[in-house]
Amino acid sequence: MVQRTIREAFSCGGVGLHSGQMIRVRVCPAQQGGRYFVRVDLPEMPVIRAQVGAVCQTSLSTELGQGGAKVRTVEHLLAALAGCGVDQARIEMDGGEVPLLDGSAEEWVRAIAQVGLQELPEAESPTPLVVERPITVQEGEAFVTALPAPRLRLTYGIDFPYSAIGNQWYSWSPEGERFEEAIAPARTFGFADQVEQLRQAGLIKGGSLENALVCDETGWLNPPLRFANEPARHKLLDLVGDLSLLGLFPQAHILAYKASHKLHIQLAKALLAGG
C-alpha cells in the first residue's frame, strides 16, 4: 500500500480550547514514523507518536504523552491528516495544545489541500485491521461497536436534552462522501449552562462563540449551522481523529452512540488486542 505525506510544510496558529494559550503548529513532510508531534518549545524537542499507546487522558479531548511531554486536543488535526490521506507527518508545536481554530477540521484540510500530497512508495505500510467479529465497549447506554464489514463505514448517534440538538444520527463512508466536504466543516459544540462549571475546573479557557457552537434551552446562540446535524457530524469527526491513532483505519463498520473520547480509545485498544 502506498504511503503519502504532504509536499511541503505549512503553519497554522491559534488559541487552545482548554489552555487558552496561543500556540503555533508547523506540519512538515515526513518519510517514516507515521504521524508524530514534536514539542519544539521543550529541551531536546521530545517526540510524541500519534499512537493509541501514547494516549494519557481523554477528558473532553484526546491527549498524548511521552515521558513528561504532552500534547492535547489532537483529534481535529489528526482527523484532517488521516481523512485527507496523509500517512506520514511531523507536527511541530511550540505549546501543549493543538489550536482549536474555528472548532472544526476545515482550516487544516484547506492547508493540506493547498500544499498537496506526495507518494512515498518506499515507506513501510502497516497492515490494516480487519474486524472479523463484533467488538463492543460500553459505559451505561453509551457504546462503540466494531462490526465486520467489506469496507470502512462510521455511524454516530447522539441524544441531548436540548431541543436544538435532540436525537441525531449520521453515517459516513469515505467511498461515498469526501471527508473534506461531509465531516471536516462540522464544529465542536457546547452548552451555555455548563460553561462556568467547566471554566472553574480549568477547562475551555479558550472557548468562545467564535470557535464553538453553543446552545441553551431556547436554541443556538450563534447560528447558522453548517449542517442540520452538525453536532452528530462533529462527533464523527472526533471518532475519525481518535481512530487515526491505529495508524490505518480498520476494515469495519464502527457504530457509536452517545460515546466519548474515552470509549473511542477503549475500542481502539480492544481492536489492537484482537477483541
Annotated catalytic residues are 261
- What are the C-alpha distances in Å from 270 to residues 60, 104, 123, 147, 157? 21, 27, 27, 13, 21
| The three cell numbers locating residue 214 | 453553543
Q: Which residues have C-beta within 8 Å of that of residue 180, sequence separation ≥ 6?
A: 83, 84, 109, 113
**Residue 222 has which C-alpha cell?**
450563534
Using alpha carbons only, give the angle 231, 232, 238 rounded to the nearest 5 degrees: 90
Alpha-carbon distance of 154 to 170, in angstroms, equals 8
Distance of CA 37 to the CA centre of its chain: 14
> Would you call 168 helix, strand, or coil by DSSP?
strand
Q: For cell 464523527, what's the residue? A: 236
- Does residue 264 sit in helix, strand or coil? helix
Burial of residue 144 (CB within 10 Å: 0-12, 13-18, 19+) is: buried
Q: Is 242 helix (H, G, I), strand (E, B) or coil?
A: helix
For 44, 125, 139, 249, 256, the CA distances from 117, given in Å and listed in that order, are: 29, 16, 39, 19, 31
| Cα-based torsion angle of the residue sequence 63, 43, 20, 70 in order, rounded to the nearest 10 degrees | 10
